Amino acid sequence: MVNNISIIGSGFAALTAARRLRRLDARADITLIAPRPEFIYLPSLIWLPSGKRKPQDLVVSLDKFLREHSIQFLAGEATGIADGGRTVLTSAGPIKNDGLIIACGGRFIKKLPGIEHAILPCEGIAPVERLRERLAALQTGTVALGFAGNPNEPSAMRGGPMFEFLFGIDTQLRREGRRERIKLAFFNPMPNPGNRLGEKALKRLMAEMQRREIDTHLGHKLLGFESDKVKTEGGEFAADIIVFMPGMTGNAWFDNTDLPRSPGGLIQADGQCRVSGCERVYVAGDAGSFPGPDWMPKQAHMADLQAAAAAENLVGEFAGRVPSKTFKAELMCIVDSLDAGMLVRRTESGGFALPPLGLMHGAKQRFESWYLRRYR
């Protein structure tokens, strides 16, 4: 019997799931559902403002990957799910499956008044290109960078890249001889932003901001933005450019399904990445809410681990086995500053944070090259 498997998405979790499924089942009929057959390497968006990377460096056509792994592609957006998960409703029409992995990512919460005045970098290449252009044109003033979370879901945030944009822009401005004329400010509603990376990492991040003479506005609820200011309950401050990462929630199309939802609006899953109450339906990456520590990250590495577990459990179900594969809760990242990087690792048994090292900046570039090689 040939198993028909649908995967929603074309990011880290989706492609890792597709690769693992093909390795485990050479005969499976696998269909990838996404608007375009391309993969965007989001971790390297941090290098666009300085020109270290160009947009075309980060966008990879999946045509070769799909062909080599005998994976079909459906160009469309998911709009819902029917028949207990056996049918995915899309803008290109319905598609049936015997098993489903949802790996479409999440959605950023855009409820703050005036959020249209902020640049949201992890939405993709276009906003970061806008940041690059505005930064290049700025002669004097203040660049404010910050992030927030989902109050109903502690894990639904992505703060790490904002530290990288902050330190990277500082390095860039110093190289260009403009740092004395342009202030940098970091804002966050939490008094200890970055504590999800661990206590050691938090201390290093705060020390790095102090060393770089970056202003901080911490511990005050955000009230909104205007074109030239950030407003908080603790006061407001001027900003010529605002870069902001909101908390995350589930995609709008989740509302058109009976999928169980977490308090923060994500798809509720168990430790094996199964969607609660659904048969042969799995979720991986930013779309899901998983059991684990409250610091469990929304990052590519975690998405890959969850996708691999989901794929193995789904194939196991087809073979009549009870899903037993779990994923390790692990935060692993290099907080880059354009010329150095701080290696941070955290697991449930402990963690560490190294001081910024030029060696780690090179390691981040080598990892990018290694990761993209499998798709190019």
pLDDT tens profile 300-349: 999 999 999 999 999 999 999 999 999 999 999 999 999 999 999 999 99
Whole-number average pLDDT of the chain: 96
CB atoms inside a 10 Å sphere around CB 305: 21
Measured torsion, CA atoms of residues 84, 87, 93, 95, in degrees rounded to the nearest 10: 170
Question: Which pLDDT does position 324 carry in this prediction?
Answer: 96
Residue type, position 180, single letter: E
The confidence score (pLDDT) of residue 1 equals 82
Domains of the chain: 4-107+249-318 (3.50.50.60), 110-248 (3.50.50.60)
Strand partners, 241: 143
Cβ-contact 156, 248 below 8 angstroms? yes
**264 pLDDT above the threshold of 90:** yes
User: What pLDDT was estimated at residue 155?
Assistant: 81
The whole-number pLDDT of residue 278 equals 94
Rounded to a whole number of angstroms, the CA Rg of the chain reads 21
CA distance 240 to 260: 42
Task: Tell me the one-letter amino acid at 346.
Answer: R
Burial of 106: CB neighbours in 10 Å, binned 0-12, 13-18, 19+: buried
Rounded CA-CA distance 226/170 in Å is 23
Q: Which helix (H) or strand (E) holds 65?
A: helix 63-68
**Which tens digit of pLDDT belongs to each residue from 25-48?**
999 999 999 999 999 999 999 999
Please give the pLDDT value at position 39.
98
Amino acid identity for residue 193 in this structure:
P
CB 115 within 8 A of CB 244: yes
Using alpha carbons, select from 41, 104, 353, 107 the residue that is nearest to residue 245: 107
Residue matched to tokens 């995915």: 88
| φ, ψ for residue 330, nearest 5 deg | -145, 125
Strands of 211-306 (E only): list them: 215-218, 222-226, 229-232, 235-238, 241-245, 248-249, 267-268, 281-283, 288-289
3-state secondary structure of 129: helix
Q: Is 250 a residue whose pLDDT tops 90?
A: yes
Nearby residues of 88 by Cβ (< 8 Å), 6 or more positions away: 6, 8, 33, 78, 80, 81, 94, 95, 97, 100
